[in-house]
Amino acid sequence: MKIGISGASGQLGKTVLAELKVRGGHHSAVGISRTPETVQSPAEGRHGDYDRPDTLTKAYEGVKRLLIIPAADVRPGARGRQFAAAIDAAVNSGVEHIVLISSAATREAEEPEMFAPYWTAEQHLIRTAPRWTILRMNYYAESLAQTASMSLRSGILPGLGESRVAFVSRDDLAAAAAGILLGEGHAGAFYNATGPDAVTGAQRAALMSEMSGKPLHFTVLDEAQLRGGLVQAGIPKEYIDAMIDIEKHFVAGDFNIVTGDVERLAGRRPRSLREVLKATPK
Ligand SMILES: NC(=O)c1ccc[n+]([C@@H]2O[C@H](COP(=O)([O-])OP(=O)(O)OC[C@H]3O[C@@H](n4cnc5c(N)ncnc54)[C@H](OP(=O)(O)O)[C@@H]3O)[C@@H](O)[C@H]2O)c1
């Protein structure tokens, strides 16, 4: 069986390919992206560009099960178009089972809301794919760790309100995706890849402070203050809009979901935020 990973050159895609290799079995892997030369043997690299649908149809040829990993493209409308192009190309190429990486907080919404394209992609997939599985990711623990240095410089971990978030390690999401691709009985299922517990803003500031030995306080700001700080840090507007949308969903509790899905699909316990922060180079 040929298993395709679309978005294979990225951090998640590389780890899914590594997980498939470790798990072995009777399959061959195809890694698809705009940089197929980065795909490591024994996987086969193929060129496919979410912005050029014709390249995707060719890239997905002969693939039986396909994982679609979204591009980190924040241009308004881009992600929705890319998802639709990838799903259509997969269906036209005869892919039998499509696994979509979607996100927690997905619900009916309109662009440019951050989660609108995930909603339209899920709906399009359900309507058109012969078989599908949706794996909704929680917020990456590694992404929080990445912002630690900026927060530690100011001593403030900002939020729009207190929130509980079940941060998931990207590696655990990858292992869960590999479990779906190699397993049976996942057609028609929605899974939520989450960490083992939901952590408050105050708890994550305390953890980051403990790991770094520097003071850090979770601080509630209003939207204008948060936006102003991000502008001052030199972050481009599209990213700021995305960060604000994510924060709003944090406060609404949309990432406050703890499931046993990673353990069930990956066959191992998901890592806690503490474990991920501890393993992150300072
Ligand atoms: N849950 C969270 O907290 C969180 C945080 C950050 C990101 N994300 C999402 O999770 C996704 C996967 O994460 P990641 O860490 O693996 O991201 P990443 O390292 O940026 O990987 C993105 C992948 O998308 C591919 N890609 C980008 N533009 C493309 C295009 N036009 N056509 C085909 N492929 C394209 C890239 O390959 P080439 O550039 O080689 O084509 C790469 O393989 C991200 O893209 C983003 O949507 C989630």
Q: In this predicted model, what pLDDT tens digit does every residue of 116-154 receive, in sequence order?
A: 999 999 999 999 999 999 999 999 999 999 988 889 999
Query: CA-CA distance, 134 to 101, in Å (whole number)?
Result: 6
Taking Cα atoms as reference points, which of 167, 193, 171 lies closest to residue 22? 171
How far, in Å, from the CA of 193 to the mean position of ligand 1?
17
Task: Determine the pLDDT at residue 31.
Answer: 98
In this predicted model, what pLDDT tens digit does every residue of 1-55 receive, in sequence order? 999 999 999 999 999 999 999 998 899 999 999 999 999 999 999 999 999 999 9
Whether 188 and 180 have beta carbons less than 8 Å apart is answered as no
C-alpha 216/C-alpha 213 separation (Å) is: 9
Residue in 12, 74, 101, 165 to alter for ligand 1 test, most ligand atoms within 8 A of Cβ: 12
Residue in this structure with the two tokens 């927060």, named with its chain if needed: 151
pLDDT tens for 193-234 read 999 999 999 999 999 999 999 999 999 999 999 999 999 989
pLDDT for 272: 98
Reference 175, options 14, 10, 7, 42; nearest CA is: 14
Q: Tell me what the pLDDT averaged over the chain comes to.
A: 96
Atom of ligand 1 at shortest range from CA of 170:
15
Comparing 241 with 281, the larger pLDDT belongs to: 241
CB 5 within 8 A of CB 28: no
Say whether pLDDT at 282 is over 90.
no
* Segments making up each domain of the chain, as ranges: 2-138+168-194+257-270
Alpha helices in 9-77, H assignment, sequence order: 11-23, 53-59
Among residues 25, 17, 95, the alpha carbon closest in space to that of 56 is found at 95
Query: What pLDDT band is residue 181 in, cutting at 50, 70 and 90?
Result: very high
CATH topology of domain 2-138+168-194+257-270: Rossmann fold (3.40.50)
* Residues whose beta carbon lies within 6 Å of some atom of ligand 1: 7-13, 33-35, 48-51, 69-73, 137, 139-140, 143, 170
The two three-digit tokens of residue 51, written as one number:
């912005």
Q: Do residues 43 and 8 make contact, with C-beta atoms less than 8 angstroms apart?
A: yes
Q: Residue 264 has what pLDDT?
A: 98
Atom number in ligand 1 closest to CA 48? 33
Peptide bond into 42 cis (omega under 30): yes
Say if CB 221 and CB 159 are below 8 A apart. Answer: yes
Q: Give the C-alpha separation, 155 to 209, whole Å.
A: 9
Instruction: Report the residue count for the chain.
Output: 282
Q: Give the residue ranges of DSSP H helices in the chain.
A: 11-23, 53-59, 78-92, 116-128, 141-154, 170-182, 201-212, 223-232, 237-252, 261-266, 273-279
Q: Name the residue of 17, 34, 47, 139 whose CB sits within 8 Å of the most ligand 1 atoms, as the mutation to test its pocket.
A: 34
pLDDT for residue 245 is more than 90: yes
CA of 6 to the centre of ligand 1 (A): 9
The answer to whether 176 and 262 have CB atoms below 8 angstroms apart is yes
For residue 147, the model assigns a pLDDT of 86
Dist. CA 62 → ligand 1 center (Å): 23
On the question of pLDDT at 162 being above 90, the answer is: yes
**pLDDT greater than 90 at residue 281:** no
State both tokens at 134: 């949706």
Phi/psi region, residue 22 (left: phi>0; alpha: psi -120 to 50; beta: rest), is alpha
Instruction: Please tell me the predicted confidence (pLDDT) of residue 14.
Output: 98
